[in-house]
Amino acid sequence: MNSASKIGLMSRLVVLMVLVIGSIAEAAPAETSLPQVFKQVSGAVVVVRTNERVLSRQSGEGGAVSVAKAGIGSGVIINAEGQVITAAHVVQSADAVAVEFVNGTVVRARVVMSDPAADVALLQLDRVPPGAVYVNLGDSDAAQVGEQIFVVGAPFGASHTLTVGHISARRRPKASLGGAGFGELLQTDAAISQGNSGGPMFNMQGEVIGIVSHILSHTGGSEGVGFVVTSKIAQRLLFDEPTMWSGLDGYLLTGPYARAMNLPGETSGLLVQRVAAGSPAERIGLRGGYLPAEFGEESLVVGGDIVLAVDGIPIGAANSYEMIRQSIYQARRDKRAVRISVLREGREFELSGS
C-alpha cells in the first residue's frame, strides 16, 4: 500500500470514528440538572398544618389549662389518589390536619396510617386539586453513602425550600417501646430544620428515597446531622403491612419511672399523654393526662391511662412493639376487636375496640 492509500485509509477511519462518537453522544441522554429535577418534583411537596389541644401551665390559679396549638411539617404526594407521606410525630396526636400546596390551595386531610416508632405516617386528602403532581418512591437500598441528594420542605414555615447535601451514613435506629428499630435511617448533611419533618429526600432521578425524621443539634438548628426514614421502611409500614393510626401520644415507663407511677410488679407501661379528637384511641375509651409534671429531665403529662398490654402482649417486653403491631394488623384483617389492658387511677381493667 502506497503512502497516498495509507493517508486515504486513515482519513476514512478518522471520519468513521467521529461519526460513531457523535452518534453515541447524540443517543446518550443529557444529565438532568438539579434545577430541572427540582422543578419536576417541587409540586408534589406540601406543607402539613395541624391543630390540637395541649396543656399549658399558665392559668390564674397556677394549674394547667387546655389551649389550641398549631403545628407545621412537610409531606409528599406519592400517588394520583391523593395519599401523602409525612412524619408520624407531625400528625400523631393532631385533632385536625390540612395540606397546603405550592399554589396556596389548602385541602383537609385525615391520618390513615401511622407508626410512631418508625416515624412515618400516611394521610389521605379529602380531594385532589386539579393539576396536582405526585412522585414515586425510589429504592433506598440502592442509595450509596456519598451520593448527592436534596431535601424539599418548609423549614420554619418557608415552604418549598430546597437544601442539598449527601448521604453521610446508614444508621440503625434505636430500639423503641420494647422492640428493635425498623431497618435503617439515612444520615445526611443537607440542612434540616424545624418544619422539614415529614418532607422528602430525593435522589438525583427525582425519586423519594427517604422521609425526614429528626436532627441532632446542640442549638436547635441545623448542624449537618439529619436523619430520614428510608423509603423501603415507609413502603413496608404504610402499604405492605400497614399500621393503624391510633391517635395516641404516649411515653414509655420503665425502671424508676414505672415504679414512681406505681405500676404492678416489674412491669412497664405506656403513659397516655394525649388522645386526638375522633381517633381510634378516643373511640376505644383511652384517656390522656391532665397535669404537666417534671420527672428528672423529662416533661410529662400525668393523670392519664397507662397501657399495660395489648392483646395480652406486655408493653416493654422483648420485641413487644413488633408483636403488638403484627397483632393489630392481623386483628384488622380478621375484623376482630383489639384488647387493651389499662391502669387507671390505680385500678386495672380492659378496653376493647377496633
CATH number of the domain bearing residue 309: 2.30.42.10
1 found inside a domain? no
On whether both 143 and 96 belong to a single domain, the answer is yes
- The predicted model gives 92-107 an average pLDDT of 96
Closest CA to 97 of 76, 72, 134: 72
**CA distances from residue 52 to 69, 91, 92, 343 in whole angstroms, order as listed:** 5, 10, 10, 25
- The predicted model gives 263-286 an average pLDDT of 93
On whether both 252 and 218 belong to a single domain, the answer is no
Question: Per-residue pLDDT for 227 more than 80?
Answer: yes
E strand or H helix at 36: helix 34-41
- The model's confidence at residue 340, banded by pLDDT at 50, 70 and 90, is very high
On whether both 57 and 178 belong to a single domain, the answer is yes
The neighbour count for residue 160, using CB atoms within 10 Å, is: 17
- The model's confidence at residue 196, banded by pLDDT at 50, 70 and 90, is very high
- The model's confidence at residue 318, banded by pLDDT at 50, 70 and 90, is confident
Select which of 140, 193, 197, 231 is catalytic.
197
**Mapping DSSP to helix (H, G, I), strand (E, B) and coil, where does residue 177 land?**
coil
- The amino acid at 110: R
E strand or H helix at 317: none
What mean pLDDT value characterizes the chain?
Answer: 86
Q: Is 166 a catalytic residue?
A: no
Select which of 115, 119, 249, 305 is catalytic.
119
Task: Determine contact, residues 191/223, Cβ cutoff 8 Å.
Answer: no
Q: What is the pLDDT of residue 23?
A: 47
Residue where the block lists cell 387493651: 340
The three cell numbers of residue 43 are 409540586
On whether both 101 and 191 belong to a single domain, the answer is yes
Structural domains of the chain, count: 2
- The model's confidence at residue 266, banded by pLDDT at 50, 70 and 90, is confident
On whether both 322 and 240 belong to a single domain, the answer is no
- The predicted model gives 108-120 an average pLDDT of 95
Q: What is the pLDDT of residue 12?
A: 53
- The amino acid at 152: V
**Cβ-Cβ contacts under 8 Å for 137 (sequence gap 6 or more):** 78, 207, 208, 209, 231, 234, 235
d(CA 316, CA 121): 22
Question: Per-residue pLDDT for 13 more than 50?
Answer: no
Mind giving me the DSSP string for 132-152? -----B--GGG--TT-EEEEE
On whether both 121 and 57 belong to a single domain, the answer is yes
Question: Per-residue pLDDT for 264 more than 90?
Answer: no
On whether both 72 and 182 belong to a single domain, the answer is yes
Q: Which of 189-193, 228-232, 241-245 has the lowest mean pLDDT?
A: 241-245
Q: What is the pLDDT of residue 16?
A: 45
181 found inside a domain? yes
Select which of 74, 89, 114, 168 is catalytic.
89
- Strands 306-310 and 347-353 come out as unpaired
The residue out of 244, 267, 293 marking a domain boundary is 244
Closest CA to 86 of 249, 210, 246: 210
Q: Which of 221-230, 233-242, 313-322 has the lowest mean pLDDT?
A: 221-230
Question: Per-residue pLDDT for 223 more than 70?
Answer: no
Question: Per-residue pLDDT for 142 more than 50?
Answer: yes
Q: What is the pLDDT of residue 342?
A: 96
On whether both 171 and 295 belong to a single domain, the answer is no
- Strands 313-314 and 306-310 come out as antiparallel
The residue out of 190, 209, 244 marking a domain boundary is 244
